[in-house]
Amino acid sequence: MHYDVIVVGAGPSGIFASYELSKSNPNLKILLIDKGHSIRQRRCPILENKITKCPPATKKKEYAGCLPACSITAGWGGAGAYSDGKFNLTTEFGGWMQDYLAPSKVMELIEYVDSINLEHGGTTVITDPTTEDVRRIEQKAAGAGLKLLKARVRHLGTEENLKILQNIFQTMENKMDFLFKTYVEDLIVEDQVVRGVRLKNGDEYTADRVIIGPGRDGSEWLSNILKRNGVEMTNNQVDIGVRVETSDVIMQEINKYLYEAKFVYNTSVGTRVRTFCSNPSGHVVVENHSGVMTVNGHSYKDPKMGSKNTNFALLVSHTFTDPFDKPIEFAKEVSRRANDLSNGSVIVQKVGDIYKGRRSTPKRIQEGFLEPTLKEAVPGDLGLVLPYNTMVSLIEMIKALDKVTPGIADEHTLFYGVEAKFYSARPKINDHFETESIKGLYTIGDGAGITRGLAQASAAGVHVARHILQNLNQ
């Protein structure tokens, strides 16, 4: 039951920490634990057209891939497994690793991870953000008060992303131990030194080094565990917004030259809005965060599997100050209100109905020029769910984007809600991502508030692994 290193979380950060450890020192005893399924068992019955909506969290019968954790958000590959698989080679966005490491170091780690993906089947095709066409888009954005964040993007595609994860798992499966469908209840800490983890069933596994790499679905769990063990935390932001769906025709220029455009906008109500996770010819999907339904999107590499619509997120950043210290709970409560008004699903609303201050109805959605790709979304009124500043920010942002890609603020564009990104209050850590109050405990990943996307999450895992390996060799 004793290991050299225990890794909690099989998302990108946990995978690449384990990969680097096992590759560099095959003699290490490594255990990886995740509440979700192995890559071979991850299945979403909605995507397979076997059910029409997520089962309630209280449902005892296990739908394939649904329980004990949603296969869209948990399991080998994390939430990134069923995502669009966009690997952004940049330090300009994607997380906050630069708060701890030099940008050049972060970039070196990202490019190293990219090389591993290529070895396991990643596409060699990559976008070029330095062309004259991109500069023209950037100029139009500046004229609308938008900042364009540019990056080289390697679009893996949902189906290719899953194949890469399967290949990496095959590389690693005989080199370490795994516990899937397993919940970690607490840490084992003695004299401010980590000694292992305690599972929900009472079993204990010991190790001198523990890496916790939860995705955003595990952010609240991480906060609770760290607070319970006296780790000092700093409040962090949550992002609340919507998933926008429009036609490929309207997004044609951006899709062609950028694939994913990252725009940032400062609103009149003092908030900052950003675009996130654009999916040309994509599909809008539901994510189940322990019974809280939010919305996301993805697209396939194979154009035959695509739709005629592009979807992307508009996210409004909310940073809270004293005395409020429950940002994750706040975002989840907003999301629950949308679930309540849509009978356990998510809301879809035409932008034209938002302008008119009325709810969308099935008839109004049907009369629109855009066919929704998420069939289970329920027409409704997001104005009854989203806070005032959030809704104002979203309307200002979509109108600013209309000056860059005309037609996107048209009445037929669809808003799905709620889309929310949860980040834990950030633990106090050093530049190796080791907590200052508990020796041997490392926190990484999106859920820890350190990263925000595939590239930096994976890079953080490699960085921690290299630090552990260096200490073992001393």
Measuring CA to CA, which residue among 281, 279, 216, 274 is closest to residue 242? 274
The residue to which tokens 């037929």 are assigned = 412
User: What is the per-residue pLDDT for 423?
Assistant: 76
- Structural contact between residues 298 and 278, judged by C-beta atoms closer than 8 angstroms: no
* Residue bearing the bigger pLDDT, 30 or 122: 30
> Are residues 338 and 275 part of one domain?
yes
Residue range 233-242, pLDDT digits in tens? 886 678 999 9
In a domain, 136, yes or no: no
* Residue bearing the bigger pLDDT, 349 or 302: 349
> Are residues 115 and 212 part of one domain?
yes
Q: Taking 70 as the threshold, does the pLDDT of residue 172 lie above it?
A: yes
User: What is the per-residue pLDDT for 16?
Assistant: 98
Residue range 391-446, pLDDT digits in tens? 999 999 999 999 999 999 999 999 999 999 887 678 999 999 999 999 999 999 98
Q: Taking 60 as the threshold, does the pLDDT of residue 58 lie above it?
A: no
In a domain, 141, yes or no: no
> Are residues 349 and 322 part of one domain?
yes
User: What is the per-residue pLDDT for 62?
Assistant: 58
Give the global pTM: 0.85
Positive or negative CA dihedral for 466, 472, 473, 474?
A: positive
In a domain, 214, yes or no: yes
Q: What is the mean pLDDT of residues 35-44?
A: 87
Residue range 353-387, pLDDT digits in tens? 999 999 999 999 999 999 999 999 999 999 999 99
Ranking 78-92, 248-262, 269-283 by mean pLDDT, the lowest is 78-92
Q: Taking 60 as the threshold, does the pLDDT of residue 57 lie above it?
A: no
> Are residues 281 and 208 part of one domain?
no
User: What is the per-residue pLDDT for 60?
Assistant: 45
Q: Taking 90 as the threshold, does the pLDDT of residue 105 lie above it?
A: yes
Distance CA 418, CA 382 (A): 8
Q: How far is CA 249 from the centre of its chain?
A: 27
Q: Taking 70 as the threshold, does the pLDDT of residue 206 lie above it?
A: yes
> Are residues 279 and 180 part of one domain?
no
In a domain, 146, yes or no: no
Q: Domain total for the chain? A: 2
Mean of all residue pLDDT scores within the chain: 92
In a domain, 32, yes or no: yes
Ranking 49-63, 67-81, 89-103, 219-233 by mean pLDDT, the lowest is 49-63
> Are residues 201 and 171 part of one domain?
yes
User: What is the per-residue pLDDT for 236?
Assistant: 66
Residue range 317-340, pLDDT digits in tens? 988 877 887 888 899 999 999 999
> Are residues 360 and 307 part of one domain?
yes
> Are residues 196 and 326 part of one domain?
no
User: What is the per-residue pLDDT for 97?
Assistant: 95
Highest-pLDDT range among 65-69, 115-119, 424-428: 115-119
> Are residues 243 and 105 part of one domain?
no
> Are residues 211 and 192 part of one domain?
yes
Counting every residue, how long is the chain? 474
> Are residues 324 and 344 part of one domain?
yes
Residue range 250-262, pLDDT digits in tens? 999 999 999 888 9
Q: What is the mean pLDDT of residues 133-144?
A: 96
Q: Phi/psi zone of residue 291: left (φ > 0), alpha (ψ -120 to 50 degrees), beta?
A: left
Q: DSSP assignment, residue 262?
A: E
- 30-33/177-179 β-pairing: parallel
320-358 burial, b for 16+ CB within 10 Å, e for fewer? eeeeeeebbebbbebbebbbebbeebbbbbbbbbbeeee
Using pLDDT thresholds of 50, 70 and 90, give the confidence band for residue 61.
Answer: low
- Exposed (0-12), middle (13-18) or buried (19+): which is 130, by Cβ within 10 Å? exposed
CATH code at position 61: 3.50.50.60
Q: What is the mean pLDDT of residues 177-198?
A: 97
In a domain, 208, yes or no: yes
> Are residues 353 and 229 part of one domain?
no
Domain finish residue from 405, 421, 437: 421
Q: Taking 80 as the threshold, does the pLDDT of residue 196 lie above it?
A: yes
In a domain, 156, yes or no: yes
Q: Which structural domain, as residue segments, surrounds residue 295?
A: 237-421
User: What is the per-residue pLDDT for 291?
Assistant: 85
